[in-house]
Structure 1
Amino acid sequence: MAQHLDLEEQEQIDQLKHFWNTYGTLITALLVLAFGALAAWNGYQFWQNRQAVQASALFDAIDTAAKAGDTARLEQAFGDIKDKYPSTAYAYQAGLLAGKVLFEKGQLDAAKATLGWVAEKSGDDGLAALARLRLAGVLIQQQAYDQALAQLGGSVPASFAPLVADRKGDIYLLQGKQAEAIQSFTQAYKDLDDRLEYRRLVEVKLNALGVDPQAAIPGAQS
């Protein structure tokens, strides 16, 4: 009986040896790849978290400079976050904030460059749309109306569509294109939620152009 068991054990060992001789190298290679991929993923996660922490510190510096109205410090800090951490959400948020402050301070060229960077580089459609809206505002101030319209020509998330239409209406009005302005304002009014105060502002614009949107749009309410 003991000899029979020994023979079975020997057969199992021989089968295991044969299996390992046949597939051992492949199994080892797959294990190395699996553990290597896991280590690489963990390393990438650590790197991303470290980038986010450092970018967050720079964003705080930008926020402080913005509140103080210190545009020199603001531009320096934004340059740092843009150069060192350009793929982080903090960099794009910083660009929106910096562009807003620079615009308010009358530094239009700097605001244009900053917002243009966000519009071009951000992978977030909402942030890119907001950057283009603000950039169009800068270009309006510079009387570069065609360029402003070009910034508003692409597709945007649905929530931004009425804001884009309203901004287009402002531009058309400045260009003396009243029919196009009415069309854009009407589209904005139609798309805006009737509970928003912003819709009332668009209605005032249409009224000034001799249009009653509640009459022009079936079911419209102010």
Structure 2
Amino acid sequence: MSEESLFREVDEEIRREQLKALWDRFGTYIVAACVAVILGVAAFKGWQYWQHRQALEAGQAYLAAVQLAEQGNAEAASAAFAKLAESGDSGYATLARLQEAAFLASKGETDKAVAIFDEVAAQEGTTPVLANLARVRAGLLLVDSAPVEELRNRVGDLDVEGNPWRNEAREVLALGAYRASDLETADKLFNEILADPRAPFGLRQRAQIMLALIAPKIGGQSAGASGEETASDEDAAAGDAASQ
């Protein structure tokens, strides 16, 4: 055996002894750490599966409630939405609360509906899109009773470029101004809705109706009123917008 081979064998023997000493000393901890990692991965996978199942069940429950509503079974749909709303903080639970509030509003229980919309808007975890939708819906319910300043505090900051609910917020503010006899402000806001190609078709139609109502009162034809669409009942037109 050469001197080099001898040194190599001695070196390997020393390494084996060192590894054995380390294993004797820390082997139990190493095994425990490996087991902990395996259990942690298993627990995480189990949690992911549970979340998936919960989301799937919530989605099915929401669709079932929507079908009840579409079939005209309003009471059963409301009960289903209320039950789903209590199930947790998932997106479906938030949607269910919005539907529950809309049902209450349709029955004339405005205060309860507004309270739910306000809770959804303020709830931690509600996405900005749904929170702002809740704010707009509450504002629409309050246009007949709330002061303009309150409406402005509720939705005024949504009337900004890039906000998906900008035109709906404009409608709340415009209706509030109209009710307060601030016709110039109402005319301006309704015209902004009409001029925005991103405004939903139904919203633009309502703006056109309101502009036709405003035009004679401000001493001439409003910039957005074509005269083709008129309304014989002003309160009906404004009330229709508030019910959307």
TM-score by length of 2: 0.67
2:133 aligned partner: 130
When structure 1 is superposed on structure 2, of 58-67 and 192-201 the one drifting more is 192-201
In structure 2, stretches of 5+ residues that fail to align are 216-220, 226-244
Structure 1 segments of 4 or more deviating over 6 A? 21-26
User: Relative to structure 1, is the Cα distance of residues 148 and 52 closer, same or farther in structure 2, using a 3 angstrom cutoff?
Assistant: same
Deviation at 1:116, TM superposition (A): 2.9
In structure 1, stretches of 5+ residues that fail to align are 215-222
Deviation at 1:152, TM superposition (A): 1.2
Answer whether contact 1:118 1:128 (CA < 8 A) is retained. yes
Answer whether contact 2:187 2:211 (CA < 8 A) is retained. yes
Hey, what's the Cα distance between the residues in 2 that align with 1:187 and 1:20?
Answer: 76
Opposite residue 62 of structure 1, the aligned amino acid is A
Match runs of 1:102-113 below 5 Å? 102-113=104-115
Cα deviations across residues 121-174 of structure 1 (Å, max 9, x unaligned)? 352211222222222222235x23454443313447622112211221111111
Q: Percent identity?
A: 25
1:114 aligned partner: 116
Hey, what's the Cα distance between the residues in 2 that align with 1:70 and 1:114?
Answer: 21
Answer whether contact 1:71 1:102 (CA < 8 A) is retained. no
Hey, what's the Cα distance between the residues in 2 that align with 1:203 and 1:145?
Answer: 24
Hey, what's the Cα distance between the residues in 1 that align with 2:185 and 2:19?
Answer: 81
**What is the aligned residue count?**
212
TM-score by length of 1: 0.72
Cα deviations across residues 76-129 of structure 1 (Å, max 9, x unaligned)? 322321222x21111122223333333334333343333333323352211222
Equivalent of 2:17 in 14, 17, 23: 14
Give SS of 2:86's match.
Answer: helix
When structure 1 is superposed on structure 2, of 35-44 and 16-25 the one drifting more is 16-25
Deviation at 1:54, TM superposition (A): 2.7
Opposite residue 117 of structure 1, the aligned amino acid is E
Hey, what's the Cα distance between the residues in 2 that align with 1:35 and 1:88?
Answer: 29
Hey, what's the Cα distance between the residues in 2 that align with 1:186 and 1:28?
Answer: 72
Match runs of 1:52-71 below 5 Å? 52-71=55-74
1:175 aligned partner: 180
The structure richer in helix per residue is 1
Hey, what's the Cα distance between the residues in 2 that align with 1:111 and 1:70?
Answer: 19
Opposite residue 131 of structure 2, the aligned amino acid is A
Answer whether contact 2:194 2:224 (CA < 8 A) is retained. yes
